[in-house]
Amino acid sequence: MFAQKISTEEKFIRLQIILNKSIDIENTIIFFDEVQESEEIISSLKYFCEDKRPFKIICAGSLLGVKINRFHSSFPVGKVRMINMYPMDFEEFIMANMPEMGETLIEEIKECYNQNKQMTDVLHQKLLDLYRQYLCIGGMPACINNFLQNNKEILKYDKEIMKNIINSYLNDMNKYVLNSFEATRIEETYKTIPAQLENLSKKFQYSKIKKGARSKDYESALNWLYSSNLVYKCTALNSINIPPMAYIDNEVFKLFLSDVGILTSLLEINYNQIILNDNFLYKGVLAENYVAQEFVFNDITLYYWKSKSDAEIDFIIYNEDGLIPIEVKSSDNTKAKSLKTYMERFKPKYAIRISSKNFGFENNIKSIPLYATFLIK
């Protein structure tokens, strides 16, 4: 209907005919799902917005960023408010797992965070256990729902749900691309990210995708992944100055997956290793990806810093206190040569260490347990 060359008013009349109902515009929200299937609907939002009647319209769709970047119709600039929907963050995971006491527990976490007050040992361990469950499952609602339906028993959780989600992503790569050649490159790039996160160079390497691969060959694939929000880009800073966006090195970056549960699934990590807190090579990678996604959910731009020697700071955030270095540790071993080097050289107002240690503040370092990352704004 929307593809037909008729006026927006005529489309609205026909919409009511299809619904067999007169729409009370004042008291009705019109919701278009899978809106990426129709450029015409997206384009017509301009006319609904400019109409004197108070139309209220919500549109939802997957890979909208990809679709809009390849728009052929007239996009309603300034007429649409764009909102990104992310997987559930850890705060929401707490609320889903503890519907009766979740909000109370979150308030306790906030109080400890704001006052640098130690969480009780019992609650601290309980929240770390919950954090490790989140590493296994991630924040996709269907996965969390299945976990809850199986009485929160991780060994009964259906791993096939996440595999199906990943397969759906791969299918979308074939559906919303210019050609099959581009789809292949997007999939090649996406599947290499888990291995890229353990690079000794601490940056994305095109050679890990395919021998002899160059940046220009995969620029389009990376832009597709950015637009789809399937990956998050963390860019290196070549200078510690304000504003950081003016000092990024576009050639040096790390990529994180949109959901830590996806990373765990792609790596085929045994859940027992995570739940029992075993030491294994990718333990730190999971923690770093988890922190990255929590930052993105809080609208924090991802930066990191690497010296010409071996020093590296996992994340640099820019807030009202300036540039704040953040180190991520997957355990309570918090020895940090790189953080010490950074603080001596750049003298930030303070630093943040995210680990399995309890809350605290000493040596100008704010200690935050992994489960409280959602509070960093």
Instruction: Write out pLDDT tens, residues 87-96.
Output: 999 999 999 9
Alpha-carbon distances, residue 221 vs 168, 169, 191, 206, 292 (angstroms): 17, 14, 12, 12, 21
* Amino acid in the structure at residue 66: V
Residue 189's Cβ-count burial label (10 Å; 0-12, 13-18, 19+) is buried
Q: Is the preceding peptide bond at 243 cis, omega within 30 degrees of 0?
A: yes
Tens of pLDDT, residue by residue over 189-230, are 999 999 888 877 788 999 889 888 888 888 888 988 998 889
Q: Give me the pLDDT at residue 319, please.
A: 93
What does the pLDDT look like over 122-173, one tens digit per residue? 999 999 999 999 999 999 999 999 999 999 999 999 999 999 999 988 887 7
Query: Which residue in the block uniquely carries the two structure tokens 């527990």?
Result: 105
CB–CB of 204/218 below 8 Å? Answer: no
Give the integer Cα–Cα distance in Å for 275 and 280. Answer: 12
What is the model's pLDDT at position 5?
A: 85
Contact assessment for residue 302 and residue 232, using Cβ atoms and an 8 Å cutoff: yes
Query: Is residue 367 very low, low, confident or very high in pLDDT (cuts 50, 70, 90)?
Result: very high
Quick check: 69 pLDDT over 70?
no
Map residue 305 onto helix, strand or coil.
strand
- Model pLDDT, residue 265: 95
Domain residue spans in the chain?
Answer: 8-69, 155-375
- pLDDT one-digit tens code per residue, 193-204: 998 888 777 889
User: Residue 66 — pLDDT band, cuts 50, 70, 90?
Assistant: low
**For the ranges 4-18, 164-178, 230-244, the one whose mean pLDDT is highest:** 230-244
**3-state secondary structure labels for all residues of 246-280:** HHEEEEEEEEEECCHHHHHHHHCCCHHHHHCCCCC
Torsion angle of the four alpha carbons 42, 46, 49, 50, in this order, in degrees rounded to the nearest 10: -160
Provide the percentage of residues in the chain whose pLDDT is more than 70.
Answer: 98
**Tens digit of each residue's pLDDT (9 = 90 or more) over 293-335:** 999 999 999 999 988 777 789 999 999 999 999 999 998 776 7
Residue 342 burial by CB count (10 A; 0-12/13-18/19+): exposed, middle or buried? buried
Q: What's the token pair of residue 224?
A: 């597709």
Confidence band, pLDDT 50/70/90 cuts, at residue 78: confident
Lowest mean pLDDT among 281-295, 308-322, 356-370: 308-322
pLDDT for 265-275, tens place per residue?
999 999 999 99
pLDDT tens-digit series, residues 340-357: 999 999 999 999 999 999
pLDDT at residue 64 greater than cutoff 80: no
Those residues with Cβ within 8 angstroms of residue 84's Cβ, 6 or more apart along the chain or in another chain: 229
The pLDDT score that the predictor gives to residue 252 is 92
For residue 9, what pLDDT is reported? 87
Three-state DSSP class for 75?
Answer: coil
Per-residue pLDDT at 281: 80
Q: What is the mean pLDDT of the chain?
A: 91
pLDDT for res 72 = 72
283 within 8 A of 330, measured Cβ to Cβ: yes
- pLDDT at residue 34 is higher than 90: no
Residue 290's φ and ψ, nearest 5 degrees, are -60, -45
- Rg of the chain, C-alpha, whole Å: 23
CA–CA dist 231, 12 (Å, integer): 38
- In this prediction, residue 40 carries a pLDDT of 86
**Euclidean distance between CA atoms 240 and 317, whole angstroms:** 11
Taking CA atoms, 148 is separated from 105, 143, 160, 237, in Å, by 19, 9, 16, 41
